[in-house]
Amino acid sequence: MKEKLTGRLGWAAGVACFALGMGAGTLPASAAEELRIGFLAPLTGPFAQIGKDMANGFQLYLDEAGGSFAGAKVTFVVEDGEGKPPVNVRKAEKLIRQDKVHMFIGGLLASTGYALAPVSTRQKTVYVSSIAAADDLTQRDSAKYPYMVRTGWTSSQPSHPFGQWACEQGYKKIVTVAADYAFGYEVVGGFQKAFEDCGGRIIQKMWPPLGTKDFGPFIPQIKKDADAIFTLMVGPMALQLPKQLKDAGNKKPVIGGGTSYDEYVLPSMGDEVVGHVSALQYSAAIDTPKNAAFVKKYRSKYGKVPSYYSESNYTTAQMIHEVLKKTGGKWPGAEKFVKMMSEIRIDAVRGPVRLDEMRNPVQNIYIKKVEKKKLHGYPQDELWNTVIKTYPAVGQFWKYGKADFLKQPVYSRDYPPCKYCE
Amino acid sequence: MTEPVLELKSLSKSFGGLHAVRGVSLQVMPGDRKAIIGPNGAGKTTLFNVVTGVLPATSGEVRLFGENITGWAPHRRTAAGMARTFQITSLFPGLTVLDNVLLAIGGVRKMKFVMWRFLSSYRDLYEKARGLLEKAGYWDRRDLEVRNLSHGEQRQIEIILGLASDPKILLLDEPAAGLASGESREMAEFLKRLDSSLAILLIEHDMDVVFDIAEHISVLHFGELVEEGPTEKIRASDRVQQIYLGTG
Amino acid sequence: MKSRRNILIVIAALLALAIITPFSSSYVITLITHALVFAILAMSLDLLLGYTGLPSLGQAAYLGMGAYLTAILASNYGFGLGWSFWAVILLGMLLGAATAAFFGLFAIRATGVYFLMITLALGMCVWGLAYRWNSLTGGDNGINLPPRPEFGISLANDVTFFYVVFGFFVFTLATLYVLVRSPFGRTLEGIRERELRMRILGYNTWLHKYIAYIIAGAFGGLAGVLWAQMNGLVSPEDVILTTSVDALLMVVLGGPGTLVGGAIGAAVVTFLRDYLSTLVHWWQYVLGGVYVLTILYLPGGLIGIPERVRNWRVRRGRKAAVPSH
Per-residue pLDDT of B19-34, as tens digits, reads 889 889 988 988 888 9
- Do C121 and C133 touch, CB atoms closer than 8 A? no
CATH architecture for the domain at B6-244: 3-Layer(aba) Sandwich (3.40)
Report, as an integer, the average pLDDT of B115-123.
82
pLDDT reading at C99 higher than 90: yes
What pLDDT does C320 receive? 63
Tell whether A84 lies on the interface with C, counting CB pairs under 8 A: yes
pLDDT reading at C93 higher than 90: yes
All partners of chain C with 3 or more CB pairs under 8 angstroms? A, B
> Model confidence at A409, in pLDDT bands (50, 70, 90)?
very high
| Size of the B and C interface in Cβ pairs below 8 Å | 96
pLDDT in tens, B223-242: 888 888 888 888 888 887 77
Between residues 150 and 179 of chain C, which touch chain B (CB distance below 8 Å)?
178-179
**Percent of chain C having pLDDT more than 90?**
32
Residues of chain A found within 8 Å of residue C23, distances taken between Cβ atoms = 20, 23
- Do A28 and A95 touch, CB atoms closer than 8 A? no
> Model confidence at A352, in pLDDT bands (50, 70, 90)?
very high
- What mean pLDDT is reported for chain C? 87
CA distances from A81 to A60, A70, A98, C246 (A): 21, 29, 16, 18
> Model confidence at B116, in pLDDT bands (50, 70, 90)?
confident
What pLDDT does B38 receive? 83
What pLDDT does A173 receive? 92
What pLDDT does C303 receive? 83
Tell whether C32 lies on the interface with A, counting CB pairs under 8 A: yes
What pLDDT does A9 receive? 43
Distance to chain C for A9, nearest Cα, Å: 7
Closest C-alpha among A129, A126, A115 to residue A83: A115
> Model confidence at C323, in pLDDT bands (50, 70, 90)?
low
> Model confidence at A7, in pLDDT bands (50, 70, 90)?
very low
Indicate yes or no: CB of A115 within 8 angstroms of CB of C24. no
pTM score > 0.90 for this model? no
Tell whether A9 lies on the interface with C, counting CB pairs under 8 A: yes
Q: Considering only residues B133 and C320, tell me which one the structure prediction assigns the higher pLDDT.
A: B133
pLDDT in tens, C191-235: 998 888 888 777 888 999 999 999 999 999 999 999 999 988 898
pLDDT reading at C124 higher than 70: yes
Closest C-alpha among A90, A238, B169, A395 to residue C274: A90
Report, as an integer, the average pLDDT of C265-291.
83
> Model confidence at B245, in pLDDT bands (50, 70, 90)?
low
> Model confidence at C65, in pLDDT bands (50, 70, 90)?
very high
Backbone angles phi, psi at B213, to 5 degrees: -100, -50
Q: How many CA atoms lie within 13 A of C59 on its CB side?
A: 34
pLDDT reading at B151 higher than 60: yes
Residues of chain B found within 8 Å of residue C181, distances taken between Cβ atoms = 118-120
pLDDT in tens, A255-275: 999 888 988 988 888 889 999
pLDDT in tens, A158-196: 999 999 999 999 999 999 999 988 889 999 999 999 999
- Do C15 and A8 touch, CB atoms closer than 8 A? no
What pLDDT does C218 receive? 95
pLDDT in tens, B60-106: 999 998 889 888 888 888 888 888 888 777 888 888 888 888 888 88
What pLDDT does A23 receive? 42
CATH architecture for the domain at C24-318: Orthogonal Bundle (1.10)
Tell whether C129 lies on the interface with A, counting CB pairs under 8 A: no
User: Which of C19, C140, C157, C161 to probe by mutation at the A interface, max A CB count within 10 Å?
Assistant: C140
Give the strand pairing for A103-106 and A34-41. parallel
Closest C-alpha among C132, C133, C157, C162 to residue C147: C157
Indicate yes or no: CB of A122 within 8 angstroms of CB of C147. yes
Distance to chain C for A4, nearest Cα, Å: 10
pLDDT reading at C3 higher than 80: no
Distance to chain C for A407, nearest Cα, Å: 20
pLDDT reading at A277 higher than 90: yes
> Model confidence at B246, in pLDDT bands (50, 70, 90)?
low
Report, as an integer, the average pLDDT of B158-177.
85
* Domains A34-154+289-362 and A159-287+364-407 agree in fold: yes
What pLDDT does C157 receive? 86
> Model confidence at A10, in pLDDT bands (50, 70, 90)?
very low
Indicate yes or no: CB of C200 within 8 angstroms of CB of B122. no
Domain boundaries, chain A: 34-154+289-362, 159-287+364-407
- Do C44 and C266 touch, CB atoms closer than 8 A? no
pLDDT reading at A230 higher than 90: yes
- What mean pLDDT is reported for chain A? 87
Domain boundaries, chain B: 6-244
What pLDDT does C1 receive? 45
ipTM of the predicted structure?
A: 0.83
What pLDDT does C165 receive? 94
**Percent of chain A having pLDDT more than 90?**
55
> Model confidence at A128, in pLDDT bands (50, 70, 90)?
very high
DSSP secondary structure string, C256-307?
A: TTSSHHHHHHHHHHHIIIIIIHHH-TTHHHHHHHHHHHHHHH-TT-GGGHHH
- Do B228 and B215 touch, CB atoms closer than 8 A? no
Instruction: Select from 1.10.1200.10, 3.10.290.10, 3.40.50.300, 3.40.50.2300 the CATH code of A159-287+364-407.
Output: 3.40.50.2300
Indicate yes or no: CB of B107 within 8 angstroms of CB of C181. no
pLDDT in tens, B54-71: 889 999 999 998 889 888
Indicate yes or no: CB of C183 within 8 angstroms of CB of B73. no
- Do C24 and A22 touch, CB atoms closer than 8 A? yes
* The CA-based dihedral angle spanning residues B141, B146, B151, B157, taken in that order and rounded to the nearest 10 degrees: 70
pLDDT reading at B247 higher than 70: no
Report the distance separating Cα B138 and Cα B148, nearest Å: 13
Tell whether C200 lies on the interface with B, counting CB pairs under 8 A: yes
pLDDT reading at B108 higher than 80: no
> Model confidence at C266, in pLDDT bands (50, 70, 90)?
very high
What pLDDT does A339 receive? 92
Backbone angles phi, psi at C228, to 5 degrees: -60, -45
> Model confidence at B1, in pLDDT bands (50, 70, 90)?
low
> Model confidence at C322, in pLDDT bands (50, 70, 90)?
low
Give the strand pairing for A254-257 and A351-355. unpaired
Report, as an integer, the average pLDDT of A407-419.
89
pLDDT in tens, C130-144: 888 877 887 778 888
Report the distance separating Cα B9 and Cα C122, nearest Å: 45
What pLDDT does A6 receive? 43
Which of A285-289, A339-343, C314-318 bottoms out in mean pLDDT, i.e. has the lowest? C314-318
Domain boundaries, chain C: 24-318
Indicate yes or no: CB of B103 within 8 angstroms of CB of C205. no
- Do B97 and B143 touch, CB atoms closer than 8 A? yes
CATH 3.30.450.20 is right for the domain spanning A34-154+289-362: no
**Percent of chain B having pLDDT more than 90?**
2
DSSP category for residue A352: E
**Percent of chain B having pLDDT more than 70?**
98
Q: How many CA atoms lie within 13 A of C301 on its CB side?
A: 23
What pLDDT does A25 receive? 41
Exposed e or buried b per residue across A161-194, where buried means at least 16 C-beta atoms within 10 angstroms of its C-beta: bbbbbbbeeebeebbbbbbbbbbbbbbbbbbbbb
**Percent of chain C having pLDDT more than 70?**
97
pLDDT reading at B248 higher than 80: no
> Model confidence at B111, in pLDDT bands (50, 70, 90)?
confident
